[in-house]
């Protein structure tokens, strides 16, 4: 049986999630899924529209489900995942389709900026919601 892996990249906008996902796609053969795909047209132009963000989340989750149904071995999902509940649909999919899950928090150590027009105030609010789980579930309170 193939070892199937799901890598969930999380971090604030501008942290480098998409850049890291692209690198892993090129060097490691990972299939990459991102909300950004939904907002990128055929010419490669990115046009973020917050009003349709909920559709982008659904689109990404549907594409990941389809890849898991095909038993693709190495998948990456690139999203902010600022709150733990945002990870849950992907954790549930991984359990259902027998994927090993890795969650990687990407830090903005390069002073990058985001292309989503997210204000500094909003970034500060988003950062307060991040919680990192270092222990396995059996050891958490």
> Which residues of the chain form beta strands (DSSP E)?
5-10, 31-34, 74-78, 100-105
Q: Where are the domains of the chain?
A: 5-139
How high is the pLDDT of residue 56?
92
* Fold for the domain defined by 5-139: Rossmann fold (3.40.50)
Cα–Cα distance measured from residue 6 to residue 30, given in angstroms and rounded to the nearest whole number? 9
Cα–Cα distance measured from residue 79 to residue 60, given in angstroms and rounded to the nearest whole number? 9
Render each residue's pLDDT in the chain as its tens digit; 141 residues.
Answer: 679 999 999 999 888 898 899 999 888 889 999 988 898 899 988 888 888 989 999 999 999 999 999 999 999 999 999 888 999 999 999 999 999 999 999 988 888 777 777 888 988 888 888 888 888 888 887
Q: Look at residues 22, 27, 28 and name the one whose alpha carbon lies nearest to residue 5.
A: 28
- Helix count and strand count (H, E) for the chain: 4, 4
pTM over 0.85: yes
């Amino acid at each position: 049986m193939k070892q199937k892996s799901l890598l969930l990249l999380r971090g604030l906008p501008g942290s480098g999630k998409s850049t890291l996902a692209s690198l892993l796609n090129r060097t490691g053969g990972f299939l990459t899924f991102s909300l950004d795909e939904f907002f990128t047209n055929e010419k490669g132009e990115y046009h973020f529209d917050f009003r349709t963000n909920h559709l982008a989340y659904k689109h990404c989750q549907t594409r990941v489900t389809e890849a898991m149904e095909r038993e693709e071995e190495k998948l990456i999902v690139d999203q902010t995942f600022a709150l733990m509940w945002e990870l849950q649909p992907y954790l549930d999919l991984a359990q259902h389709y027998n994927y090993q899950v890795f969650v990687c928090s990407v830090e903005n150590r390069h002073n990058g900026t985001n292309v989503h027009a997210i204000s500094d105030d909003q970034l500060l609010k988003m950062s307060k919601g991040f919680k990192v789980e270092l222990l396995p579930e059996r050891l958490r309170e």
